Structure 1
Amino acid sequence: MKTIGNAIRRFHDLTLARKMWLSVAFVSLLTLATFAALSSTQIKRLITEREGKVMVQQIEYYTSSINHYFQNIQKSAQVLLYSPDIQERFSSDMSALSGGERIRAFNEVYNQLHRMWDNLYGIDAIYLIDRYQNVFKISVEDANMPTFLTGEEFASQGWYDRLGKSDGSSYWSFVRWNDRKTSIMMFNAMYDKTDLSLIGHLVISVSPQVFDGFLSVSNLGEGTNSIVDSAGVAYTSGNGAGARSQIDLSLLTGEQGYTFLHQNNEPYMLAYAKNKLTGWTFVHSVPQRIVLKDLRNVNSLWLFFLFVSILLMTVVSAFLLRTITMPLRKMVKLVREVERGSLSGRFHVQYKDELGRLGHAFNHMLDKLQDGIPLLREKLIRSLLERNMSVEELREYERKLDFRFERPWFQVVLLYVHDVKDENALSAAERAIRDMELHGGMISDTLAANQFCLIFNCPQDEMLALLEPLLDHLRDELKLQPYAFVGNGYEDIHFVKTSFEEAKTLLKYRVGERMEEEPAILFSGASWEHQYPESFENRLLYYMDEGDFDMCAGVMEELIAYVRARSVAPSVIHSLLISLHNHMNKLLIQFGGSDRRMDDDWLDKLSARLTLEPFEKNGRDFIASVKKRLGPLIHKQIRHSPNVAKSLQLIRERFANPNIGVDYAARELGLNTNYFSQLFKREVGVGFAEYVSGLRLEHAQKQLAETSLKIKEVAEKTGFADSHYFGVWFKDNTGLSPSQYRKSVQAQPARMESEAAKSRSSAN
């Protein structure tokens, strides 16, 4: 079963065209094989019926000839037995007559025998035996035969008893004289016509060659011809009479017919006919392989036609299936292009079949995708450029756009097309940028008619390998003037905004009227004469905002190595450190208030230190100061992701809406419900429903304590359409009904005033 299961799985893993081809081939083979088997069986039945009928007809002809021959013998026997001379001579013992009289009697008997002998053919011997054991014969057989006929062995075989019990008709059988001699004999009793007493016997021995002669003209052809007498002794053509027959006569029902039997471990076809005169059964047996030899030729022809048909059907079905599945293969190719991000393809619908309807649906889906994917792409890029997207949101965008930032390198390129004169060429440029996205490692968006934002997720050398051919294509083939403004590359996606700002600043100051003098690709670092380490500054500022001081320390070590290798001017280093200290001071004020800010003369002290101490010490001291002063403050701040922050704001604004729930909030934010529910609980610490319930309870308690609104009105303002359910919910959470809670809260000031009055009176 496991092997069959594996075979079925492998079959289903094949392409649709191959599965259809194999299915057609299998069904065709099964159909042809079934047809061949059924037709072969039908032909076998027809051949069997035809051969059986022919064999039965031939046996009928044979038996009718034998029967006519036997009837002639019987008629001659009756003439002999009831002739006056024979009747007279057999009424007494001829051996007791005197010499002359006995000779005349014997001559009369022999004359009758010779007359009968002359009228018949195929006779080996004629014997007349009187009741006195006198034997008269004409024979070409063994001279000892008369002695055998009168001997005890012949009598012990019961022949005379059978003749005595017969009604006077002939009795035919095969007689075994000895181990070497068996004859075909006809026995007939002789009765006195006057008193019907038994006066003798007539025995006629027929030559076996007579049967062979009749068989030769019966056209029975191949096979074995046998005659089985009533005692079960069989005479076989060519072998003579022998032992008992191997054929069970009880299986041969009816007067004639044909059947199948097994002999010598081989199936035989038997045609038979029963002779009423002799009581014999004439059998013609032929091996079934001989009868069905024509069927073997038919089967061989069928196998040849089957092979040719399967071959022809395979070729034709392969051609037809290729024609049928060609639109489907085109559909698969278009789907793969869609997976790579290309939505420009369309399925050419030619027919109105299922594939045609599928093609219409596919084109309709592409139209919808073209309407939606640019919006998603634009939303993703805008979120990256504004740096207001969580990791979970990024993964959701990647899933929807089938695009993934896989490498730790991010760099923004602003592609600017100067002096556009052909709008069609500009559209072609946009398509070229989209085609470049198919190679992976880049996502783009159109910022303006002639400005494109390209975000690369690959090292700078790979970025240039993609960018330079694009610029050559735009310049040489589309006759445009493209310029690429490249921001610095960063290892974290959160620096996409920083790289974009760098490229944007570069574009702002380098675009002018004489653009033809500018190079095609401009880098952000090239705008600073002393190589200001702007990328290091941006990374340090970002990690300070995030409170990731370990990353700050790592970036500072990279900066120290960079300064050593580049021999950066001291004025540049001073500007960088002043900028970093200034940002730290802003964070201290933001998180800790004015009392947390640095001393007013911090700038003078810093300048003095920078002139006395090396950059390595100043840089590491700055990181230590950041950890010491900012660490405790930033770690106290609760920082929610943008989606959770939006959901909290949504709850505060709409908690009175009875329909608000996790599904409602997820739908408003455009997020998956399960994903949003897990995100909310992870960042807030409680589930969405529990948080809403707590906020509603706080609001309900405030309304009951500070207003005189009815319970029903408080329920509606809290988000409950049913005041009864509100009461049950309120009591479950506070232990008091809304009315009891209001009374208990209102009673507290009166009780406190009473206690104060008692205190004043006791003091007086």
Structure 2
Amino acid sequence: MNRLIAKRGLLQIFFALQLVIGIMFIFNYIVYKNSISGIYEKVSDNNRMVIKNVIQSFDTSFSSVNNLIFNIHALPSDRILTDAGGLDMEKVISLQDSLTSIVSNLDIVEDVIISFNDRDLAITTRGTSSLDTLFDRRYISQRYNSMFWRNFMRSEHGFTVFPAEDYADLNSGYGRNLMVAVDGNKVRMSNKNLMIFIDVSKLLKGIDLNSMIPGASLIVLDSNRNVILSTEKDLDLVDILNDVYFNPSQEASLTNGNYEYNFYKSDYNGFIYINKLPYKFQNIDSVTNANQWIMYGAIVLAVLLSLLLSVYLYRPVKNIVKLLGGNTLKGNDFVKIQSGIIKVQRENESLKKQMELVEEEIRRGVFLQTLDGQNHSREQEIQMQKQYTYLFQSRHFVMAAIYLKPDTESEFVLEELTATIRKDLAERYEHAIVYHTEHLKFLALIGFDQPSERIKLVQRFEQFLEAAKKDYLQSFDVWGCVSRSYESKISNCRAASEDIKDGLLYRHVNEDNCVVDTERIRYVPELYFPIQEIEKLSNCMLSGKVEEGLRIVNEIIQENVSVQIHHHQMIHIAKSMFFIVLQQAESSTVDRSELFRLESAFIDKVDQAFTYKEILDALVEVIPVVANMRNHDPRSKLNPAFITQYIELHYMENLYLDHMAEVLDTSSKYFSNYFKKTFGVNYVEYLNRVRLSHAREYLRNTDLSIAEIGEKTGYSNSSTFTTTFKKYCGVSPSEYRKTSGK
């Protein structure tokens, strides 16, 4: 039984090899039956693609020549003649320099000749000469001479490309194969006659003709079916062109003798391209017989080798089964090997993921330790140095922060979000690492070599955040910050981290960009925090005038936005206004724990705010709440709301104490005591503050005289107004107007 099992294992190896041989024989036979014709068809198809690419390359070259002609015509040449009829050589040299500059950008152009009908002058990129000298010494052709070119350019003609011809140069003794493109003169763009000499070798160098099928050639005809270029000499196309009817909208082909001719027409200039290729491979019978013998010999050798390999591989297979722990199990050896390999692969994948996770956590820990700026043990320093090559792979770096704030209660996996951000940044930068630090804050180290690259780096970071907001971060408010550039040292990570913190505090409140560049932050010392308006806000809370209080808050916030103060300054202003408003809450009627919750919620919203609008919304939300904490009795005139409203409406009148007592149906003494107790100041001082508040507005915003302003604000004469104004404001009205810029 054991011998049978052993023989069965040997036979499994042998028949497995025979199966491979059988499959190879089937495919070899299929290849043998279809190889020659199939290869020829594929080669022909590939050749068509090559020819289309060649046509596109020719079109590009002729398009470049056409653009060159337009650019040369645009050069000024109408003033090269002096008043005496001679040549202004300064302008001629200037035209020649401009021509050289334009032609230098086109490699295929050997030279350009500018001539004029009324002058025997030829301007080229190499200098100036006469047409006769140029064509009798530099461009000597057996077919064309200077008289031919002179007569042709004077005759009416369209854009013409002359066939490739060898032109000799007596000065250098060398010949060049050139094509000549002559600009048309039916519709003249200038008084210049242009001849473009195209270097055929450079033209063909930029076109991959070697990719054509062996034995194939290419012939180029212009729109009038004149041959201008051919890779095969002495080719007679008369009979071929007479036999084919070429439809401009389609390709055409013709078989003549042992060759197939494929015709293509350019959509750009109407040139016709003829691809001549062999109709079939030669010596096909000898190739077929050789393939048969190779196939039969390979089968015999494969059978012999499979027998030898079966014996040779049997013992190693048994050893592999033993190593994989399947030696004690019964069954097919190869099934045991497969099961063992799958098990090992799973264990390796699991171990690999665990090691990657551990390594990533180590790197994250090292990165976070570089930010604390503390001294570490020698062992810890060594561990940090090991990660240096991973953290810094460029000469310089910037630290970039990404702050996220969910718009809604959306669910997300932090690790997946971190991986997505890391992958996105890695695709945009040569070296970028990203780690999650706290809450929804991510820090990235982005490397670069030259300090001048920082500007583009910041721009790409802005593009990254804009694209991410439209994609996988669309459910978040996104804000970013970029530090200054630093040399790639671990000690500089602390400074870069401080830049990020400063960027968070000192960013301008009206920043339209989602990324704050710490290098572009400019310190703004001016704050708008008017004491008079703050007092008025406090009074609005006393009187329950919520709308007026909201107007004051919005005005103060918007004024600070207009001067572009820093974010932390806006937070201080908002908190100051909040605590001033909170003082007006009647603690006797409000639970202190409720005030504590209100204060905590407000401070949390303001500290977590991304924009000034969130700060303003927090104030707008809390002011009505505080106003409702006071007990206002609208049925009685003797209440703060009515008193402040009445004074605000009638401050310009003679509001004596007796008058107010009469309006409120009480005595002067009672009203005076009530006002002092309620508002914290006496009635006269409060009235003066209201009047002077309006007076300051008149001084800032109008051109009224001092006396007129005093009269409008309730003062009987300008002297009393001036004295009172100086007492409360410290300066005279005229001095205040000067300092306020009016």
Select the structure that is richer in helix: 1
Whether the TM-score (by the shorter chain) exceeds 0.5 is no
TM-score (norm 1): 0.28
TM-score (norm 2): 0.28
